[in-house]
Structure 1
Amino acid sequence: MVPPGNKAPGRLEALKPLAVVDIGSNSVRLVAYEGLTRALTPIYNDKVLCGIGRGVATTGKLNEEGVERALSALSRFRVLCDLLKIKDVHVLATAAARDAKNGREFLAAAEKTLGAPVDLLSGERESRLAALGVVSGFYAPDGVVGDLGGGSLELNEVHGGRLGKGVSLPLGGLSLMDMTGRSPKKASKLVRDAIAQIKGLDQLKGRTFYAVGGTWRALARLHMHQRNYPLNVMHGYIIPRRDAEDFVSLVERVNAEALVAIESVAAARRPLLAYGAVVLEEIIRRARPNQIVVSALGLREGLLYERLDAQERKIDPLIQAASDLNILRSRAPRHGWDLCAWTDAFMRSTHIDETKNEQRLRHAACLLADIGWRAHPDYRGEQSFNIIANAAFVSIDHSGRAYLALATSYRHMGFEHDVSPQLRMLATPRLLDRAQLLGAAMRVGYAVSAAMPDVLPKTPLVCRRGKVVLKLPREFAPLASERLANRLRQLGRLIGREPDIIIE
């Protein structure tokens, strides 16, 4: 296995920062990124809930107070981009500016304030970019992407990297609030009639609905806090269909301020929760997905993914992000790649079934195995665990996150210590078993190599004739210590094989 081509050592220093400004119906946001790569790393994130789309559905014009707030935010964003030395700024505008009579006037003022041209997206284009954001952030996505904003709802089918023909509906939270006189009950009928016309949702049964947008993220955050969920990572958070049905029904019925853990949601967004729940409930009722998965990536990330060339799009963002951390924090980054190949040979010799996704998770864990080495030895396992569990990774679910964090903590601490029983519960039994197996193998590998490159290729670890065999060249014979033997014995117990160290 070799590092992603655009992430070799030195590439990180060559990245040029860029930014995307998203002028939505409810919020105006600036996100600055370290550079245009397959694994985007935000370096600055700022948002203002302006509500420029409030009233557009009934008056046809942008909200005056919201426009003032938006222009003020854009003025600040321009200064921030100058401070960050960003010259590559992309500005997107969506439903409110698209639908309002005075939308063009506002966009002209926005361009002047920000000093950059504004791309006014059509509904179909907005749908495509949101779906590309999901493609960029999930491993083999399959289902329908729904992006709920303040002014509109965009839907698009996704299967791997292939997209359907997107649609845009005027079912955003602010629009529904205006059209129904702040009545979620009236909104329910309006949403039902509109959703009934969308034939693409017939393909969603038994698949995944990917929820994009601030209102749905707020609903998911509320659900997460009510469950006392052990991982505070929104991307990839799963709500099973039956659970989602009960939850959105509750949000519709109850005053938002009375909901448990409502303080986890920004006060300005709480009035929109019921409308987000109405839309999600109708999609679930009509399409019967097996689960709702939250995406923290959408329009902005889809735009940047679209700018990548075909070769860069093929790069695995999880491996690229792990490679970045390996370069930045490990003693010898090349050792992480040696460990990938070393464990490849070991796993093949065990004849243990390993899926393509499990292999990529193992490779990511190998690249991350030494990122905590600068910490005190007593805390390396715990610190690595926390960094990995909460890192800004994409293309990985929460079970996979638990696997990565646990494998690295086992590599440092063995199996006697359990850093987080709660997070361990997120890993499937199969991945938990694989985390222990990889952690045990890495304990052998680090005892042999001292985290230095070009050693593991000379010391293969293989299974044969009922034994797990570590081969050492003659010059490495003194490494065959009791410590190494104990680690190999521990690995052997996990796979039911006797340990053997052979000096060649």
Structure 2
Amino acid sequence: MVDIGSNSVRLIVYEDAGRAPAPLFNEKVLCGLGRTIATTGKLAPDAIKRALRALRRFRALIDQLGAGHVEAIATAAAREASNGADFIAQAERILGHKITVLTGTKEAELAALGIVSGFHAADGFAGDLGGGSLELIDVRGGRLSDAMTLPLGGLRLIDASGGNLRKAREIVDAELGKVEWLEKGRGRDFYAIGGTWRALARLHMTQTNYPLSVMHNYRIAADEALKFAALLDHQSQSSLAGIRDISSARRETVPYGALVLERLIKQMKPRAIVISVFGIREGLLYSLLSEEEKRRDPLIAACEDLARQRSRSVDSAYELCFWTDALFRAPGPIETPEQRRLRHAACLLSDIGWRAHPDYRGAQSLNLVAHGDFVGVDHPGRAFLALCVYYRNEGLVRDDLSQKLVELVDKDMVKRARILGAAFRAAHMVSAAMPGVLTNTPVTYEGNRLAWTLPEPYANLEGERVERRFKQLAELLDREPEIRVGSAYQLAAS
């Protein structure tokens, strides 16, 4: 996919176009096509030259990578510039593919679909801040409404205000004042899309010593985001120059992006600012999926993909989902639908570290999950999944690597992660991560006991390590362990 934006021109080649798209190659060039739109109405010649040069390289990379399907889009700068059509014609000749110039409404819709694709049960406003425009749209589940595009992109604001933040504030307030439905965002999430807002969030992560570096679904309470944005929108480029977390290419737009965010928060009064790495491109991919594929849970889809790549058997991982179902029914710990969803995701990830050296399986699995390319899960949920695979590989004693992640979850989630880690350790000792075993060796609650039935032909799988690990699981569930072995416990007779 080629995305010709008002600030950057980007190529992303995806491994496939499924529910959890994984980038195979990703490159952007900051060309600044929209830098002079407000004052001249045209794309600047030097920006056009940079963009066309980038597209020549992208064409070569598309051919080299053997991309089977190419989508190319352009946004506000190409749409609004008087020489935009000429630029697109040149770009199409170089790229060898048709470029769709999106309307402002279509931009907003695709940005919203990116939120639908990347978040589980999204409910709030999506805001996509580019170099030339800001797209706003209401997202509630899969339903979209109240879309609008505003000329508030970072480069456009710099151009229109002559680099004066006070004048830029007046422009922002005037444009936001035209949006009559902003109050519908009160008390809901605001999903912030765009590189400028991601740079702002990266700086906030560093300042707060946040334990994860993952940007997607990073959440900042609205009052805290307001204070932080108000601080940044008074900063000059020179004052930001010494901050390594903001790239030199983003320094000039960050104060203006912070200004837009500050004024939005004051008028909309959302509950929180939630950063999204999914936007127009991912929304376009999502729009091309079948209805059946759209209905898939993005987290479960991503975990299944990783399980297929790294686990010994994805079928065994799914059997583990059902095997552990029995542990989380009364009289055991009761789950919410979201907790069940996370547990099933953890089961799919439980065996991804098996190829690593035993001394490093815990650390590698924890880092792979904690910092992995997952969507459809918030940061506490991500930390929970990482703790589950860590405890599965390291046991329940060594907590040294997991302490920072524990800060993101409450005590109940930590306990559930330890129970699941213990369950994985016991189950894998019997199944060896092979399918067809766990479905025939169920666990049940019986009074104060947790019973595990190993009928023929699985009786010989019983052993000291199995006994020890099952005892640990039973203790976490406040039960006495009992392993039932042999022909007296055939499932057909139970």
Name the TM tier (shorter chain).
Answer: over 0.9
Separation of aligned partners in 2, 1:259 and 1:353? 49
Superposed, 1:164-203 pairs within 5 Å as 164-203=145-184
- Aligned match of 2:470 in 488, 492, 495? 488
- Aligned match of 1:50 in 13, 20, 31? 31
**Structure 1 residues 431-486: Cα deviation after superposition (integer angstroms, max 9, x where no partner):** 22211111111111112212221111111112221211111114433433332222
2:294 equivalent to 1:333: no
2:120 equivalent to 1:139: yes
Superposed, 1:287-326 pairs within 5 Å as 287-326=268-307
**Structure 1 residues 174-231: Cα deviation after superposition (integer angstroms, max 9, x where no partner):** 1111111101111111111211221221111111000001111111111112222221
Separation of aligned partners in 1, 2:442 and 2:68? 49
Q: Show the counterpart of 1:347.
A: 328
Question: Residue 350 of structure 1 contacts residue 462 of structure 1 at CA under 8 Å; is this kept in 2?
Answer: no
Q: Show the counterpart of 2:11.
A: 30
Separation of aligned partners in 1, 2:57 and 2:249? 21
- Aligned match of 2:446 in 464, 480, 496? 464
Gaps in structure 1 of 5+ consecutive residues: 1-19
Separation of aligned partners in 2, 1:265 and 1:253? 16
SS at match of 1:420: helix
Separation of aligned partners in 2, 1:196 and 1:232? 35
Separation of aligned partners in 1, 2:237 and 2:446? 62
Q: Show the counterpart of 1:423.
A: 405
Q: Show the counterpart of 2:260.
A: 279
Q: Show the counterpart of 1:40.
A: 21
Separation of aligned partners in 1, 2:174 and 2:377? 36
Q: Show the counterpart of 1:5.
A: none
Q: How far 1:374 sits from its partner (Å)?
A: 0.9
Write the letter of the residue equivalent to 1:383. Answer: Q
- Aligned match of 1:224 in 185, 205, 209? 205
Separation of aligned partners in 1, 2:306 and 2:104? 38
Q: How far 1:277 sits from its partner (Å)?
A: 0.6
Q: How far 1:255 sits from its partner (Å)?
A: 2.6
Write the letter of the residue equivalent to 1:366. Answer: C
Separation of aligned partners in 2, 1:136 and 1:100? 31
CA separation of 1:386 and 1:62: change in aligned 2, threshold 3 A: same
Q: How far 1:254 sits from its partner (Å)?
A: 2.4
Q: Show the counterpart of 2:376.
A: 395
Question: Residue 108 of structure 2 contacts residue 135 of structure 2 at CA under 8 Å; is this kept in 1?
Answer: yes
**Structure 1 residues 353-381: Cα deviation after superposition (integer angstroms, max 9, x where no partner):** 21222112111111111111111112111
Write the letter of the residue equivalent to 2:415. Answer: D
Q: How far 1:260 sits from its partner (Å)?
A: 9.2
Separation of aligned partners in 2, 1:220 and 1:261? 17
Separation of aligned partners in 1, 2:32 and 2:259? 20
Separation of aligned partners in 1, 2:340 and 2:273? 26
Question: Residue 208 of structure 1 contacts residue 290 of structure 1 at CA under 8 Å; is this kept in 2?
Answer: yes
2:109 equivalent to 1:125: no
Write the letter of the residue equivalent to 2:184. Answer: Q
SS at match of 2:408: coil
CA separation of 1:74 and 1:25: change in aligned 2, threshold 3 A: same
Please say which of residues 141-150 and 315-324 is displaced more in the overlay: 315-324
Please say which of residues 272-281 and 185-194 is displaced more in the overlay: 185-194
Question: Residue 226 of structure 1 contacts residue 261 of structure 1 at CA under 8 Å; is this kept in 2?
Answer: no
Write the letter of the residue equivalent to 1:420. Answer: S
Separation of aligned partners in 2, 1:316 and 1:474? 37
Q: Show the counterpart of 1:90.
A: 71
Please say which of residues 290-299 and 464-473 is displaced more in the overlay: 464-473
- Aligned match of 1:445 in 424, 427, 446? 427
**Structure 1 residues 238-284: Cα deviation after superposition (integer angstroms, max 9, x where no partner):** 11112101111111122344349721222011100111011000110
Separation of aligned partners in 2, 1:432 and 1:103? 54
Question: Residue 206 of structure 1 contacts residue 290 of structure 1 at CA under 8 Å; is this kept in 2?
Answer: yes
- Aligned match of 1:435 in 407, 417, 422? 417
Write the letter of the residue equivalent to 1:380. Answer: R
TM (norm. structure 2) is 0.96
Runs of 4+ in 1 over 6 A off after TM superposition: none
Separation of aligned partners in 1, 2:92 and 2:457? 68
CA separation of 1:187 and 1:304: change in aligned 2, threshold 3 A: same
2:346 equivalent to 1:357: no
Write the letter of the residue equivalent to 2:402. Answer: S
Separation of aligned partners in 1, 2:173 and 2:221? 21
Question: Residue 60 of structure 1 contacts residue 100 of structure 1 at CA under 8 Å; is this kept in 2?
Answer: yes
SS at match of 1:32: strand
2:380 equivalent to 1:411: no
Question: Residue 234 of structure 1 contacts residue 296 of structure 1 at CA under 8 Å; is this kept in 2?
Answer: yes
Question: Residue 449 of structure 1 contacts residue 455 of structure 1 at CA under 8 Å; is this kept in 2?
Answer: yes
Separation of aligned partners in 2, 1:427 and 1:42? 29
Q: Show the counterpart of 2:492.
A: none
Q: Show the counterpart of 1:10.
A: none
Separation of aligned partners in 1, 2:153 and 2:12? 22
Separation of aligned partners in 2, 1:174 and 1:350? 59
2:214 equivalent to 1:241: no
Q: Show the counterpart of 1:368.
A: 349
TM (norm. structure 1) is 0.94
SS at match of 2:282: helix
Superposed, 1:12-27 pairs within 5 Å as 20-27=1-8
2:192 equivalent to 1:211: yes
Q: How far 1:349 sits from its partner (Å)?
A: 4.5
CA separation of 1:476 and 1:349: change in aligned 2, threshold 3 A: farther
SS at match of 2:451: strand
